[in-house]
A = this chain, B = another copy of it.
């Protein structure tokens, strides 16, 4: 369950300002709890609210943690003592179980995130936007494999503690399948279902891989949180979350039955 609090789409009945954003976001956490394997607050939307947004983030993470794992979608990436400070901010101050990070700065920049045996980091691998082709698809080295596959292979090698996953946009099942083939045991985080039109079943099938054992999380944000922007937003969110859950369960049964 992706949490991207946006003051522009708060149901009118909740009032205005940060207190309305707070009520909306906390209600969405409770409304989707029966179906959410994890919550993914997107830090950009909290930071845009200023210092009160950072307080809200901690409150939301605390509430969500009662139900499921929490992934801080922060996409941080820096070196040395800065990387240590970011890991402490996300894991210890915010209290997230996991986060998203950038890999462009290489292994030592990620170690403060990966060396925490009680935490987990998803490295951005292949995104769903047009600009993904600018760098991620570039052929690298002698074999000419795309950069995102090289990243997936290296990330697999860094997974000594079982703390490494990859982010891959759900809109590109072909790329998900290639990632899965070179990193069979890495959990994948697949955003882009719903508003971004990713096909849930195709993405899930690709992420399971050839043996059907691949682990993954599908992230849905606006298709649930904005299923209704009226006063029935919570019921609509529950219904939408149930719908995605049912589809994923059905897809899993189909895979299981075909074996």
Contacts and interface: CB of A to CB of B under 8 A. Distances in A.
A232 interface: no
Interface string A75-91: 11111111101101110
Contacts of A86: 44, 47-48
A139 interface: yes
Contact of A147 (B55, B130, B138): B138
A47 B107 contact: no
Contacts of A140: 138-140, 147
A166 to B, nearest CB: 13
A117 interface: no
A129 interface: yes
Contact of A77 (B102, B133, B136, B139): B102
**Listed residue (A55, A79, A107) with the most chain B CB atoms within 10 angstroms of its CB:** A79
Given A4-B82, A77-B77, A86-B47, A108 B131 contact: yes
A219 interface: no
A248 interface: no
Contacts of A124: 77, 104-105
B89 A47 contact: yes
Interface in A176-224: 196
A105 B167 CA distance: 12
A139 to B, nearest CB: 6
A93 B129 contact: no
A51 B51 contact: yes
Contact of A109 (B45, B89, B131): B131
A129 B108 contact: yes
Interface string A49-66: 111111100100000000
